[in-house]
Amino acid sequence: MFAADEECGVMAQNRSTAVMQRRAEPHDSLDDFPTPPWATRALCEWLKARGEDLEQFTCREPAANRGHMVAPLREYFASVEASDVHDYGAGFPVRDYLFGPQERVHYTITNPPFRLAEQFIDAAAKSSEFGFAMLVRSAFLESVGRFQRLFSKNPPSHILQFTERVVIHKGCLAPEGSTATAYAWLVWLGDRDDCDTTFEWIAPCRKQLERAGDYPSGDDCQDHTADAIGLIESGRAAQTPAGSRRSLVVERKGL
């Protein structure tokens, strides 16, 4: 369990269909922003480079959407429990992650709804045995209020900043597009021996980690549910190329 530690207090508008730096959604929005699979593989490769034997562990993805994060997670973990508060047609259980207690798993990894990210972090801290990770906008690290509520009490053990832009479209997964938004993985690991946060860069790896079946067929990216289900069912079929297991981290700096 990742209980908070009180002693840790320490341009022109881009009109692309991708997410802009200021991602504002209505309060009742489903926050439908599918994650490119390569961004999930980047985290898993980082964990493997640390010596984590992911094939022995369980993982939970509580904001599974259409399964574009679930599929790469199932390439690495022994089993992945997936659910979402909304039925996107991928066959996952409809479940509110923030309602009621959660059974414990080894890891929790997700791209949480932005307005509920702090609550997702709290829920993952209570139900993840070895660690958890959240994909967030880099701007999530800002805010005095968030520092007081979260980071001063339970800071992540690692911040993994993408050097490449992770292009995330609303309601659609596609390789094309640009974005003004920067993303990072915030990681909490249970084996930390202090309250320091380590900042690391994820070196360029998109070309290395993308797979031919990652993206739905069709130019309009509308009929993607069947493609996501097929990708999930293929599971471990996509293997990491030889020689690609080197660390993706090029530099680190203690905060």
User: Please, what is the average pLDDT of the chain?
Assistant: 81
Tokens of 159: 């911040």
Residue type, 163: T
pLDDT in tens, 124-157: 999 999 999 999 999 999 999 999 999 999 999 9
Residue type, 168: I
192/105: higher pLDDT: 105
Q: Which DSSP state fits 209?
A: H
pLDDT confidence bin for 229, thresholds 50/70/90: very low
Pairwise CA distance, residues 47 & 76, whole Å: 10
**Per-residue model confidence (pLDDT) at position 6:** 40
**Per-residue model confidence (pLDDT) at position 177:** 87
Residue type, 137: R
**Per-residue model confidence (pLDDT) at position 216:** 86
**Per-residue model confidence (pLDDT) at position 244:** 42
Pairwise CA distance, residues 111 & 223, whole Å: 22
Pairwise CA distance, residues 155 & 186, whole Å: 9
**Residue 71 backbone phi and psi in degrees, to 5:** -60, -55
Q: Among 27-41, 106-120, 222-236, name the one with the lowest average pLDDT.
A: 222-236
**Per-residue model confidence (pLDDT) at position 100:** 86
DSSP bridge pairs for 252: 200
Report the Cα–Cα distance between both ends of the chain, in Å, rounded. Answer: 23
Residues 237, 243, 246, 248: is their CA dihedral positive or negative? Answer: negative
**Per-residue model confidence (pLDDT) at position 101:** 87
Place of tokens 């207090």: 9
pLDDT confidence bin for 205, thresholds 50/70/90: very high
CA distances from 102 to 60, 97, 185 (A): 10, 8, 22
The answer, yes or no, to whether residue 24 has pLDDT greater than 80, is no
CA distances from 9 to 47, 150, 161 (A): 26, 10, 22
DSSP bridge pairs for 199: 159, 253
pLDDT confidence bin for 191, thresholds 50/70/90: confident
Q: If we measure between CA atoms, which residue out of 98, 66, 104, 99 comes closest to residue 82? A: 66
How large is the greatest C-alpha to C-alpha distance in the chain, in angstroms?
52
Q: Kindly state the percentage of the chain with pLDDT values over 90.
A: 64
Q: What is the mean pLDDT of residues 209-230?
A: 65
Q: Which DSSP state fits 141?
A: G
